[in-house]
Amino acid sequence: MTDRIRQFLRRHREDGPRLVVDLDVVRSNYNAFSKALPDTRVFYAVKANPAPEILKLLNDMGSCFDTASMGEIDLVMQAGGTPDRISFGNTIKKEKDIAAAYALGVRLFAVDCEAEVEKIARVAPGSKVFCRILCDGSGAEWPLSRKFGCAPEMAPQVLEHAHKLGLVAHGISFHVGSQQNNVKAWDRALKTSGAIFREMAERGINLSMVNLGGGFPAQYLRDIPKVEEYGQAIFRALRKHFGNRIPETIIEPGRGMVGAAGMIEAEVVLISKKSATDNQRWVYLDIGKFGGLAETMEEAIRYPIRTEKDDDVMAPCVIAGPTCDSADVLYEKTPYLLPVSLEIGDKVLIEACGAYTTTYSSVAFNGFEPLKSYVI
Ligand SMILES: *Cc1c(COP(=O)(O)O)cnc(C)c1O
């Protein structure tokens, strides 16, 4: 936790869970990405946290934006972003939204099949498209599976189709899986990308861009490699697979940009045991899977959780949310250590919650309000 967040929490006491994001951390993360990958343009993945203050800061620092919907495009433009710095990076778009983005001036679109290329050719003529390829996501704590991207063997056909329809076959994209702890994860995808570039050149079409996606981790319980190590590994892979003809590159960090910048203050609503002989406590918080902590699904993301009593004796417990859905258990398979002196009404601090929390919180499941957010 940063001093600024600590002071904010002390000065503004409040009931109910709330996320507090420190813009200083976002600023230093942006600088770290720019430094680690100096020749790569940053397209912040807006879905990680679309708070206007964050978008405005990143826009002022020169960032571009990866968006998935007209709603996100509008947010970026309200924050001062210009269409030439926006990528419509979702491979699943309604034709009317492509047309609306084009009317605003957006000219960069993701595709992973010919049907999507045809939509873009119809309503966004002359635009640049990049083809997303499948990536297996191994090594990632939040893999993105098979939903996006086509088999690499299909990509040249998709891009050639785009070229024939008057679009600019711009390049390739992939996402190595979110919270990717392995700095070498980009190597294989870049090898495949290099092969696609050569295949396209043989067809007389020169691609120019590789979109390296997101995947850069935030520090949760496990230690993670530094951004510089990712930068070095990616640069080595580019050299290896593209030689002296390194393409234009972009990255789309979401979690790595804002994850560590925020933390959630929550409260203990109940501590109980399931039987007289059970010695495991159940600790129920006023936030759970539906209040913003959806990434605890299958206990994938393990947030550091702290209390003011962490110097006391600690004992394992199950941690759950407040709603009446039995899926709303955060950690049970791998119990967390919390102080035995923890009491109902105590505050707990859940760290590294800047990404994928406010956007995942439900509107009013069980009558609980969406997660409140403060950007300082
Ligand atoms: C979600 C997403 C990202 C951001 O991923 P992180 O792992 O949070 O960095 C980047 N690109 C695309 C296309 C995405 O959908």
**Residues 43 and 163 placed together within one structural domain of the fold:** yes
Report the alpha-carbon distance of residue 100 to residue 77 in Å, rounded. 13
Report the pLDDT averaged over residues 22-46: 98
pLDDT value at residue 243: 95
Same domain, 299 and 249: no
Last residue of a domain, one of 238, 257, 276: 257
Indicate the DSSP class of residue 87: E
- How many CA atoms within 13 Å lie on the side-chain side of 36? 23
Amino acid at 347: K
- Domain containing 342 — which CATH number? 2.40.37.10
Query: Which residues fall within 8 angstroms of residue 283, CB to CB, at 6 or more apart?
Result: 268, 270, 271, 317, 318, 319, 320, 338, 342
Is residue 90 included in any domain, yes or no? yes
Ligand 1 pocket member 216 (CB < 6 A): yes
The angle at the Cα of 140, spanning 373 to 325, to the nearest 5 degrees, equals 50
Q: Which of 42, 49, 66, 180 to mutate to test the pocket of ligand 1 (most atoms within 8 A of CB)?
A: 66
- List beta partners, residue 67: 88
Catalytic residue among 113, 131, 150, 324: 324
Across the range 310-326, mean pLDDT stands at: 96
Q: What is the average per-residue pLDDT within 319-329? A: 96
Determine, yes or no, domain membership for 12: no
The set of residues, in sequence order, having a beta carbon less than 8 Å from that of 331 and lying 6+ positions away, is 296, 299, 302, 318, 319
327 is a domain residue: yes
Q: Are 250 and 371 contained in the same domain? A: no
Number of domains the chain is built from:
2
Q: Which of 257, 289, 316 is the last residue of a domain?
A: 257
CB 39 within 8 A of CB 234: no
For the cut 80, the answer to whether the pLDDT of residue 143 exceeds it is: no
With contact defined as beta carbons under 8 Å apart, do 227 and 257 qualify?
Answer: no
Query: Does the pLDDT at position 144 exceed 90?
Result: no
Indicate whether 3 belongs to any domain: no
170 pocket-lining for ligand 1 (C-beta < 6 Å) = no
Residue 257 structure tokens: 């940009």
The percentage of the chain sitting over the pLDDT mark of 70, rounded to a whole number, equals 99
User: Is 135 one of the annotated active-site residues of the chain?
Assistant: no
41 and 160 share a domain? yes
- Two tokens, residue 26: 């976002």
Q: Is the pLDDT of residue 210 over 80?
A: yes
The answer on 163 and 37 residing in a single domain is yes
Under 8 Å CB-to-CB from 160, ≥6 apart: which residues? 169, 200, 203, 205
Closest ligand 1 atom to residue 215 Cα is: 7
Minimum CA distance residue for ligand 1 atom 5 = 214
The reported pTM is: 0.96
Under 8 Å between Cβ of 158 and 197? no
| Span from the CA of 7 to the centroid of ligand 1 (angstroms) | 31
As a whole number of angstroms, the distance between CA 138 and CA 143 comes to: 7
Say how many CA atoms lie within 13 Å of 356 toward its Cβ. Answer: 22
Q: Are residues 317 and 170 in the same domain?
A: no
Helix, strand, coil share of the chain (percent; to 5): 35, 25, 40
Cα(47) to centroid of ligand 1, in Å? Answer: 8
Task: Judge whether 7 lies within some domain.
Answer: no
Which among 257, 292, 323 is the end of a domain?
257
User: Does any ligand 1 atom lie closer than 6 A to the CB of residue 288?
Assistant: no
Strands 305-307 and 347-350: antiparallel
Tell me, yes or no, whether 91 and 185 share the same domain: yes
Residue whose CB lies within 8 A of the most ligand 1 atoms, among 252, 255, 356, for a mutation test? 252
pLDDT exceeding 90 applies to what percent of the chain?
93
What is the b/e burial string over 243-277, where b = at least 16 CB atoms within 10 angstroms of the residue's CB?
Answer: eeeebebbbbbbbbbbbbbbbbbbbbeeeeeeeee
Instruction: State residue 295's pLDDT score.
Output: 96
Six-digit token string for 376: 């300082």
Q: Which domain holds residue 116?
A: 24-257
| Residue 283 within any structural domain of the chain | yes
pLDDT at 20: 98
**pLDDT over 90 (residue 256):** yes
Q: Are residues 304 and 322 in the same domain?
A: yes
48 lines ligand 1 (CB under 6 A): yes
d(CA 374, CA 262): 9
Query: Do the Cβ atoms of 248 and 208 come closer than 8 Å?
Result: yes
Give pLDDT tens digits for 83-119.
999 999 999 999 999 999 999 999 999 999 999 999 9
Is there a single domain that holds both residue 59 and residue 186? yes
Rounded CA gap, 24 and 8, in Å? 14
**Same structural domain, 34 and 69:** yes
Residues 224 and 281 in one domain: no
Residue 1 lies in a domain: no
Tell me, yes or no, whether 206 and 233 share the same domain. yes
- pLDDT at residue 220 above 90? yes
The Cα-based distances of 125 to 104, 108, 364 in angstroms read 14, 11, 41
Q: Is the CB of 241 under 6 A from ligand 1?
A: no
Q: Is 89 in the pocket of ligand 1 (CB under 6 A)?
A: yes
- Say which CATH number the domain at 117 has: 3.20.20.10
Residue 131 lies in a domain: yes
